Structure 1
C-alpha cells in the first residue's frame, strides 16, 4: 500500500532544533536532525539550529548545509541568571550538556522567543520534561509544538510527538513518560534517511542479488571515533584471511581526532585502502560496498535500507540494544572489542559460506525501507493541522 501524500501544513513554518555534537556525544544526533531539516525545508519550512560549541561541534557543517546556527556558549552561564532547578535525580547523560539544564534553558529562551517557532525539535539525552516545560511555558508568543527524538526511553517528556526509530522499540515503552495525547512514532519504519538512500535502494539490492561475494569493504565507525576503534579494526584485519583483490574504504568525519593516524596506517595495509573525509556520496558508497564494519548507531538504518551486510561495533551503551536486535534478526553480526582479532576472524568466517552475505543483506533490507522521513513529515503535518 502506498503512503498517503504529505500535506502542506508545514509551508512557511519556523522549526527550531536543539541538538549537539561533540567528541563525546558524536555526530549522530545532529546528522539525523539535519536529515529531518532537509525534509522540512523541502516542504517550505524554515529551520534553525541551537547548538552548544563543544569540542567537536558541527556548527560549520550545519551552516554549510544552509541552516542558521544560534551558538550557545561552551561555558556555563552565570547561575544567577538561570532558571531555578527542580530537585530531581540527575540524568545519566547530564554532563553532555556542558551546563545545567536550567542554564541551557535560560540561554535558549531569548533565541526561541525571537524565532517564534511553530515546532521545537529536541534531540538531546541531557534534556527532559524540566527543560521542555521551562522553555515552552516562558515563551512570550504562542507555545510551539514539541517533537522529541530519543533512543533511551529513560526520562519524562511533555512532547506532542516522540520519535524513537530503533528496532524493537514500541510505543508502550514510553507509557508514563509522555502525555496521553502524545503520538509515539516507534521503530525503524520511521528511520530518518536522506533522499539519496531512497534513490540507491533498488540498485543496491539488485546488485547484491547479481554479484554475491566480498570485494569491497566499507569501514565507518562514526563521525568522531574518539577511541580510534578504526585503527584497531585495521590492525585486526591484517590477521584475517581476506580476498587478495579486496578494496577497503574508510570513511571518517573531519573532527575525528585520529584521522591522520588512520591515514598513515592505511598506507601500510596489504590491500588498497583509502581514507575519505566528510563524504557527500555515502549512499552510493554503501550501495557499492559488499560488507561494512560500522558502529551500531543511527547509520545502522542507512545500511539496512541498502541491504548492506554489517559487522557491527558497539561504541556506546545506548547502541547495545540496536546491535542485539539486528543480530537477532540476522541482519548483522556484532564484534567483540575486547578480543577484536578473534571476533573479526569468527564473523568473517561466518559470512564466507555461499549465500551468507546475500541472506544477511535480505534480512537487513527487510528491517528498513526508504519512507521513514515521509512518515515523520506526515505526523508533523497532521499534528500542525490540529492546532
Structure 2
C-alpha cells in the first residue's frame, strides 16, 4: 500500500509530530509499504531530516491508499476533501477539540474519561485506538524496555531534554540550576530546531557535560541515566515506557491535561506551567530527587504499569495494516 503522512515541524509547532510519524513510517516501511511525507517548508521544518531518514517529501497531494494526518490545524472540513486522494484516512490527535472524518483515530494520551472523549467527534464507524496501550514507540524503545537495567534510585547520571525546539528555554534554566549540584554524568540533548543550541553546547563543554544534538539513540541514553528532566508531551511516554523516573514541565497548552493526570497516577513529577518554572524550581527538584529515592522507585513502577500493552509493542500497526482499502 501507499501511505502519505501529513505533518509539519516548525519553531512554533515543534518536532514531536514529525518524530512520532517517522516511527509510524519506519514500521510501515519495514512491512514493505511505500511512505511519503507531505510537509510545508515552515521556518524550523525538518524536511531535510525526514529525507535523510530515507523518505520522499511532497508539497502537493498525490493519490494514495491511506493518508495519515497528524496536524492540529486540520479537522473534518479538510479531511473530508482528502478522500478524493485516498480510500482511508487515519488521524493522530491528542486534543479532542475538533471533529474528524476518518476511519481510524489514534490518541496515545490519557486523561480523565479518555475512552469517551472522541465519541461525538468522529463517525460511529471510526475505530478509536485510545490510551497509552497504543503508544507510538520506536524499535529502540521497545528493545530498551525489554532489556531495561535494574535501577537503585541513586541519582548519579542525569538526562536533560526539553523537546526538539525547547521554545520556552527550559534547558538554560536547568543548566543554571545545575551549577549548585554535582552528578557523575549529565547528558544534555537538543534538537536541531533549538535556537539556543550553540550556547547550550558551549556551557556543556565548559561544565564537562555530555552534549547531544538531534540524536537517534535516546532510548539508550534513557536506559543509562537515573533521572530525566523533561517537558510534557510525547517524551513523557517514552520515559515512562522504559521505566525512567522523570519530571515534566508543561511548555504547551496541549500538554496540560495529560501531564496533570499522569502526575495524579504517580508516573511523573509535574513542575507546572513553564512561566512559573524558574531555575530555583529546578534547584528544588534536584535537591528533592537526591533526598527521596523512594519516590523515584514509585515513578518508575507506575510508568511501566501505565504503558503496559499485554506484551505487544505498537499494537496500532496491526490496525493500519489490516485496513481494507
How high is the TM-score relative to the length of structure 1? 0.79
Q: Residues of 1 paired with 2:258 and 2:179: CA distance?
A: 28
Pairs within 5 Å for 1:322-337: 322-336=258-272, 337=274
8 Å CA contact retained: 1:220, 1:295: yes
Pairs within 5 Å for 1:110-259: 111-112=61-62, 116-136=63-83, 138-139=84-85, 143-168=86-111, 170-204=114-148, 206-208=149-151, 211-239=152-180, 242=181, 244-259=182-197
User: 1:364 Cα shift?
Assistant: 1.1
User: 1:189 Cα shift?
Assistant: 0.6
2:218 alignment counterpart: 282
8 Å CA contact retained: 1:32, 1:192: yes
For 1:106-148, what per-residue CA distance to the aligned partner results, in whole angstroms no more than 9, with x for missing partners? xx4xx32xxx211100000000011111232x44xxx420100
Q: Residues of 1 paired with 2:97 and 2:12: CA distance?
A: 20
Q: Residues of 2 paired with 1:221 and 1:339: CA distance?
A: 13
Q: What is the root-mean-square deviation in Å for CA atoms of aligned residues?
A: 1.8
Within the candidate set 279, 284, 302, 1:341 is matched to: 279
1:300 alignment counterpart: 236
1:266 and 2:209 aligned:
no
1:65 alignment counterpart: 53
User: 1:256 Cα shift?
Assistant: 1.4
SS of the residue corresponding to residue 248 of structure 2 reads strand
Within the candidate set 15, 19, 25, 1:27 is matched to: 15
1:320 and 2:246 aligned:
no
Q: Residues of 2 paired with 1:199 and 1:373: CA distance?
A: 10
1:96 alignment counterpart: none
1:363 and 2:294 aligned:
no
Q: Which moved more, 1:257-266 or 1:351-360?
A: 351-360
Q: Residues of 2 paired with 1:151 and 1:188: CA distance?
A: 11
SS of the residue corresponding to residue 56 of structure 1 reads coil
Question: Structure 2 regions of 5+ residues with no counterpart?
Answer: none
Q: Residues of 1 paired with 2:96 and 2:295: CA distance?
A: 34
Give the direction of change, closer, same or farther, for the CA distance of 1:339–1:68 in structure 2 (3 Å limit): closer
SS of the residue corresponding to residue 52 of structure 1 reads coil
How high is the TM-score relative to the length of structure 2? 0.93
Q: Residues of 2 paired with 1:345 and 1:257: CA distance?
A: 24
For 1:347-371, what per-residue CA distance to the aligned partner results, in whole angstroms no more than 9, with x for missing partners? 3344322432122111111111476
8 Å CA contact retained: 2:173, 2:282: no
Q: Residues of 2 paired with 1:341 and 1:252: CA distance?
A: 18
1:377 and 2:317 aligned:
yes
Q: Which moved more, 1:321-330 or 1:173-182?
A: 321-330
Q: Which moved more, 1:323-332 or 1:44-53?
A: 323-332
User: 1:268 Cα shift?
Assistant: 4.2
Q: Residues of 2 paired with 1:37 and 1:317: CA distance?
A: 27
Pairs within 5 Å for 1:71-90: 72=59
Q: Residues of 2 paired with 1:134 and 1:339: CA distance?
A: 43
User: 1:65 Cα shift?
Assistant: 1.0
Give the direction of change, closer, same or farther, for the CA distance of 1:16–1:339 in structure 2 (3 Å limit): closer
8 Å CA contact retained: 1:120, 1:146: yes
For 1:300-336, what per-residue CA distance to the aligned partner results, in whole angstroms no more than 9, with x for missing partners? 1111111011111111010111211221111111224
